[in-house]
Amino acid sequence: MEFRYLGHSGLKISEITYGNWLTHGSQIENDVATDCVHAALDAGITTFDTADVYANTVAEQVLGDALAGQRRESLEIFTKVYFPTGPKGHNDTGLSRKHIMESINGSLTRLGTDYVDLYQAHRYDYETPLEETMQAFADVVRSGKALYIGVSEWTAPQLRAGHALAKDLGVQLISNQPQYNMLWRVIEPEVVPASEDLGISQIVWSPIAQGVLTGKYLPGQPAPEGSRASDKEAGKFIERYMNEDILTAVQNLKPIAADHGLDLAQLAVAWVLQNPNVASALVGASRPEQIAGNVAAAGVTLDDAAMHAIDAVIGDLAEQDASLTKSPETRVS
Q: Span 268-290, mean pLDDT?
A: 95
Q: Is the pLDDT of residue 143 over 90?
A: yes
Distance CA 109, CA 54 (A): 15
DSSP string across 98-138: HHHHHHHHHHHHHHT-S-EEEEEESS--SSS-HHHHHHHHH
pTM of the predicted model as reported, rounded to 2 decimal places: 0.92
Domain count, the chain: 1
CB neighbours of residue 289 within 10 Å = 10
> 223 lies in a domain?
yes
Confidence of residue 226 (pLDDT cuts 50, 70, 90): low
Whether 332 is in a domain gets the answer no
Predicted local confidence at residue 328, as pLDDT:
44
Listed residue (269, 64, 81) closest to 180, CA to CA: 269
180 in active site: no
Q: Which of 5, 18, 54, 119 is catalytic?
A: 54
3-class secondary structure, 179: strand
Q: Does any domain span residue 279?
A: yes
Across 132-136, 232-236, 271-275, 317-321, least confident range: 232-236
Full residue range of the structural domain in which residue 244 is found: 3-324
How far is it, in rounded angstroms, from Cα 225 to Cα 298? 30
Q: What percent of the chain has pLDDT over 90?
A: 76
Query: What are the tens digits of pLDDT across the range 149-182?
Result: 999 999 999 999 999 999 999 999 999 999 999 9
Tell me the pLDDT band of 327, cut-offs 50, 70 and 90. very low
Predicted confidence (pLDDT) per residue in 191-223, tens digit: 999 999 999 999 999 999 989 999 998 988 777
The per-residue pLDDT for range 65-86, each reduced to its tens digit, is 999 999 999 999 999 999 999 8
329 in a structural domain: no
Sorted by sequence, the CB contacts under 8 Å of residue 310 that are 6+ apart come out as: 182, 253, 256, 267, 271, 302
Q: Which of 123, 124, 120 minimizes the C-alpha distance to 19? A: 120
Residue 227 clears pLDDT 70, i.e. is over it: no
| Between 48 and 21, residue with greater pLDDT | 48
Label residue 294 left, alpha or beta by phi (over 0 means left) and psi (-120 to 50 means alpha). alpha
Residue 271 belongs to domain with CATH number: 3.20.20.100
In a domain, 208, yes or no: yes
Mean of per-residue pLDDT scores for the chain? 92
Cα Rg of the chain (Å, integer) = 19
Asked if residue 333 belongs to a domain, the reply is no
**Is residue 190 a part of any domain in this protein?**
yes
Q: Is residue 173 part of a domain?
A: yes
- Residue 325 confidence (pLDDT): 63
Contact 218, 211 (CB under 8 A): no
